[in-house]
Amino acid sequence: MPSTDAVLRDPRLADSLAGLGRELVKARIRDAQGRARAGDLPADEIVDAVLAGLPTAPVSLTRVLNATGVLLHTNLGRAPLSAAAVRALGEAAGTNDVELDLATGRRGRRGRGALDALRLAVPTAGDVHVVNNGAAALALAVTALGGPGRTVVISRGEMIEIGDGFRLPELLESTGTRLREVGTTNRVRLEDYLAAIDETTAFVLKVHPSNFLVRGFTSVVPAAQLAGHGVPLVVDIGSGLLAPHPVLPDEPDMTTMLAAGADLVTSSGDKLLGGPQAGILGGDADLVHRLRRHPLARALRVDKLTLAALEATLRGPRPPVTEGLEADADGLLERARCLADDLTSAGVPAEAVRSVAAVGGGGAPGVDLPSAAVALPERFADALRAGRPAVLGRVTEGRCLLDLRALPDSDDPELLRLVIAARERA
């Protein structure tokens, strides 16, 4: 039985030691030695077993090809970053001038590049600010403007709950601010809001119900009618559109909401914007400055990696989410046919079919995106999830569908390889 030190000196493990660290490699060596002592592994195959058991990186996250047809899949990390944003992460990983003015050698404004890019993207905003997620953006607004003895006026139909049991009213009330609910679940009028505004009102809050639809006997009050009544109007649009998009004409965006009279708009950065997880605030310059100087803003501050990825997303080419949103359905079907033909030739029963994709991530509920998929027998679903990288499709009507709308065409060769490799497991 070779000693641990002897195995560590094997030149085949040099790259793993450099990339993964000594402790992780030693743990895998001990596992292999234990198997050898039990008679399950020849002693001269310990190094091979160690190499086979080591991850490609010292993290527990597993790369997944998103073939669900959901562009913004929360369980898969929502928006995949663009190549430009990934490069920016590498640039920002070391020491840099995130809070330094190189011209003067003095302290500089943190994240000035990302904030400048955000101002250009939202021309109707007097100023902008970035925090660590969408909920934090709203929490900062409520904390800075509200508090004990203050009220926020909100429609009952906008008291939403999103994933993992997160309820917006609980977030608002955790700041000590009291909610003044108006209207009913399905109908609210301007008079309801006006009757609720008094000397305790911190602001009127309008929330886009981004993950559900209410149809039938309904009425809502547009943001333009809620503006200009003596208190700030804060609008949470959720999904992260900074400007209108023709594929999603009913999805609110920050530029339009501010032009309609909103004093402050909050949204997420890792949804339709296609960037890293972040919370974005834009609006009246004095109001944004007030939020930025609040003590809580420090606790919600984003790091240099987020700032770099956000700036690259704003300044760089279209992110993957935008490409998926704008993908041509006929082009997707042609990709599916090519993949199905190659798989059939390799002995995998596959068929190209039309399918329906969705935006996901709490955005554009009820919007169907025409798409295409490779249909496999249902048993492939488990086998594909067990691969590395894993492939996540969706099971429907006894078939495993690999929808292509959320997958760039550059992933097609890898997808083909992974499906063929999963054939024996299936």
Banded pLDDT at 161 (limits 50, 70, 90): confident
Q: Which two tokens stand for residue 81?
A: 């970053």
Tell me the pairing of strands 151-155 and 178-182.
parallel
Q: How far apart are CA 150 and CA 131, in angstroms?
A: 24
Residues in a beta bridge with 281: 129, 266
Q: How far apart are CA 384 and CA 65, in angstroms?
A: 10
- Rounded mean pLDDT, 332-356: 97
Q: Which residues contact 246 (CB under 8 A, 6 or more apart)?
A: none
CA nearest 153: which of 188, 170, 178?
A: 178
pLDDT at 87 over 90: yes
Q: Which two tokens stand for residue 107?
A: 């302290």
Residue 100: half-sphere exposure toward Cβ, Cα within 13 Å: 6
Q: Tell me, what's the pLDDT at 76?
A: 95
Q: Tell me, what's the pLDDT at 213?
A: 78
pLDDT at 22 over 90: yes
Answer whether 240's CB lies under 8 Å from 267's CB. yes
Residues in a beta bridge with 352: 374
Q: Tell me, what's the pLDDT at 210?
A: 72
**141-158 residue pLDDT tens:** 999 999 999 999 999 999
- Reported as type and span, the H/E element at residue 155 is strand 151-155
pLDDT at 211 over 80: no
**273-301 residue pLDDT tens:** 999 999 999 999 999 999 999 999 999 99
**365-409 residue pLDDT tens:** 889 999 999 999 999 999 999 998 999 999 999 999 999 999 999
pLDDT at 364 over 90: no
pLDDT at 344 over 80: yes
Instruction: State the SS3 of 224-242.
Output: HHHCCCCCCEEEEEECCCC
- Unique residue bearing structure tokens 């993207």: 121
- Rounded mean pLDDT, 45-71: 92
Answer whether 357's CB lies under 8 Å from 403's CB. yes
CA 151 centroid distance within chain = 31
Question: 63 versus 213: which is more confidently predicted?
Answer: 63
Q: How far apart are CA 314 and CA 317, in angstroms?
A: 8
- Reported as type and span, the H/E element at residue 423 is helix 412-425
- Rounded mean pLDDT, 341-360: 96
Q: Which two tokens stand for residue 418?
A: 């992974």
Q: Which residues contact 51 (CB under 8 A, 6 or more apart)?
A: 12, 13, 16
The one-character DSSP state at 103 is: T
CA nearest 235: which of 219, 213, 254, 250?
A: 254
Banded pLDDT at 176 (limits 50, 70, 90): very high
Alpha helix ranges (H) inside 147-272 = 168-173, 190-196, 223-226, 254-259
For CA atoms 73, 76, 78, 79, give the dihedral sign: negative
- Rounded mean pLDDT, 112-121: 96
**Which amino acid is present at 226?**
L
Q: Tell me, what's the pLDDT at 168?
A: 87
Q: Tell me, what's the pLDDT at 385?
A: 96
Q: Tell me, what's the pLDDT at 363?
A: 78
For CA atoms 375, 380, 385, 389, give the dihedral sign: negative
Q: Tell me, what's the pLDDT at 144?
A: 96
- Reported as type and span, the H/E element at residue 86 is helix 83-92
Q: Which two tokens stand for residue 389?
A: 């990288």
pLDDT at 361 over 90: no
Q: Tell me, what's the pLDDT at 227?
A: 96
Q: Which two tokens stand for residue 79?
A: 């928006």
The one-character DSSP state at 154 is: E
- Phi/psi for 101 (5° steps) reads -95, 105
Q: How far apart are CA 372 and CA 335, in angstroms?
A: 8
User: Alpha carbon of 408 to those of 36, 70, 137, 210: distances in Å?
Assistant: 44, 13, 31, 26
Cβ neighbours of 334 (radius 10 Å): 14
- Phi/psi for 72 (5° steps) reads -115, 85
CATH tag for 83-317 (out of 3.50.50.60, 2.60.40.10, 3.40.640.10, 3.30.70.100): 3.40.640.10
- Rounded mean pLDDT, 156-183: 88
Looking at every residue in the chain, the average pLDDT score rounds to: 94
CATH tag for 64-77+322-425 (out of 3.30.470.10, 3.90.1150.180, 3.90.800.10, 3.30.930.10): 3.90.1150.180
Q: 360's torsion region: left (phi>0), alpha (psi -120 to 50) or beta?
A: left
